[in-house]
Structure 1
Amino acid sequence: MKLAFVGKGGSGKTTLASLFVRRLSQLGNPVFAIDADVNQHLACALGLAEIDAVALPTLGDALPRIKDYLRGDNPRIESVDQMLKTTPPGPGSRLLGITETNALFDGLVTSVGGIRLAVTGGFTENDLGVACYHSKTGAVELLLNHMIDLPGEYVVVDMIAGAEAFASGMFTRFDCTFLVCEPTVRSVGVFKQYAGYAADFDVRIAVIGNKVDDESDVDFLREHVGDALIGWCGRSGFVKAAERGRHLEITELEEANLAVLDRARALVDGVGKDWAKFTRQAHEFHRRNAEAWGSDRAGVDLSAQIDPGFVLGPELLEARSGAPALS
Structure 2
Amino acid sequence: MKIAFVGKGGSGKTTLSSLFIRHLASQRVPVTAVDADINQHLGAALGLDEQAAAALPPMGGQLPLIKEYLRGSNPRITSTETMIKTTPPGTGSRLLRLDESNPVFEACARDIVLGTTDGADGTDGTVRLMATGPFTDADLGVACYHSKTGAVELCLNHLVDGRDAYVVVDMTAGSDSFASGMFTRFDMTFLVAEPTRKGVSVYRQYREYARDFDVRLRVVGNKVQGPEDVAFLRDQVGEDLLVTFGNSPWVRDLERGGHRPFGELEHENRTALKELHAAADATHAARDWERYTQQMVHFHLRNAASWANERTGVDLAAQVDPGFVLREDAAARTANR
Measure the CA separation in 2 of the matches of 1:205 and 1:287.
25
Which one-letter code corresponds to 1:3 in the other structure?
I
Partner of 1:130: 142
- Answer yes or no: is 1:266 the counterpart of 2:278: yes
Question: Unaligned stretches of 5+ in structure 2?
Answer: 114-125
Q: Which residue of 2 aligns with 1:298?
A: 312
The corresponding residue for 2:34 is 34
Distance apart, 1:50 and its partner CA: 1.2
Cα RMSD, aligned residues only: 1.3
Within-5 A mapping of 1:244-259: 244-259=256-271
Q: Which residue of 2 aligns with 1:21?
A: 21
Aligned equivalents of 1:304, 1:104: Cα separation in 2: 25
Give per-residue Cα distances to partners, 1:164-198, cap 9 Å, x unaligned.
Answer: 00000000000110000000111101110111111
- The number of equivalent residue pairs is 322
Q: Which moved more, 1:97-106 or 1:108-117?
A: 97-106
Kindly indicate whether the alpha-carbon contact (under 8 Å) linking 1:71 and 1:80 is maintained by their aligned counterparts in 2: yes
Please say if residues 43 and 112 of structure 1, whose CA atoms lie closer than 8 Å, have aligned partners that are also in contact: no
Cα deviation for residue 107 of structure 1 reads: 2.7
Q: What TM-score, normalized by structure 2, do the two folds share?
A: 0.93
SS in 1 for 2:163: coil
For residues 298 and 319 of structure 1, the distance between their equivalents in structure 2, rounded to whole angstroms, comes to 29
Any conservation in 1 of the 2:109–2:129 contact (CA below 8 Å)?
Answer: yes
Alpha-carbon distance in 2 for matches of 1:321, 1:235: 49
After TM superposition, the score normalised by the length of structure 1 is 0.96
Aligned counterpart in structure 2 of residue 286 of structure 1, from 300, 308, 317:
300
Is 1:211 equivalent to 2:223 in the alignment? yes
Deviations 1:239-294 (A, max 9, x none): 10110011222221111111111101111111122211211110000010011111
Partner of 2:252: 240
- 1:83-232 equivalences under 5 Å are 83-113=83-113, 114-232=126-244
Deviations along 1:58-93, one digit per CA (max 9) or x if unpaired, are 001111111111111100000101001000001111
Aligned residue for 1:106, secondary structure, equals helix
Amino acid across the alignment from 1:304:
A
Q: Please name the residue that 2:72 is paired with.
A: 72
Q: Secondary structure at the match of 1:271?
A: helix
Identify unmatched segments of 5+ residues in structure 1: 323-327
Q: Deviations 1:117-159 (Å, cap 9, x if unpaired)?
A: 1000010011111110000000000000001112211110000
State the match for 1:275 in structure 2: 289
> What secondary structure does 2:147 align onto?
helix
Whether the aligned pair in 2 keeps the contact of 1:175 and 1:271 (CA below 8 Å) is yes
1:325 aligned partner: none
- Matched residue SS, 1:234: coil
Bigger mean CA offset, 241-250 vs 9-18: 241-250
**Aligned partners of 1:321 and 1:299: how far apart in 2?**
27
Q: Structure 2 counterpart of 1:141, which letter?
A: E
Q: Distance in 2 between matches of 1:184 and 1:282?
A: 35
- Superposed displacement of residue 316, structure 1: 2.1
Using the alignment, how far apart are the partners of 2:60 and 2:254 within structure 1?
27
Say whether residues 1:307 and 2:321 are aligned partners: yes
Q: Contact between 1:275 and 1:312, CA under 8 Å: does it hold in 2? A: yes
Distance across 1 between alignment mates of 2:225 and 2:334: 51
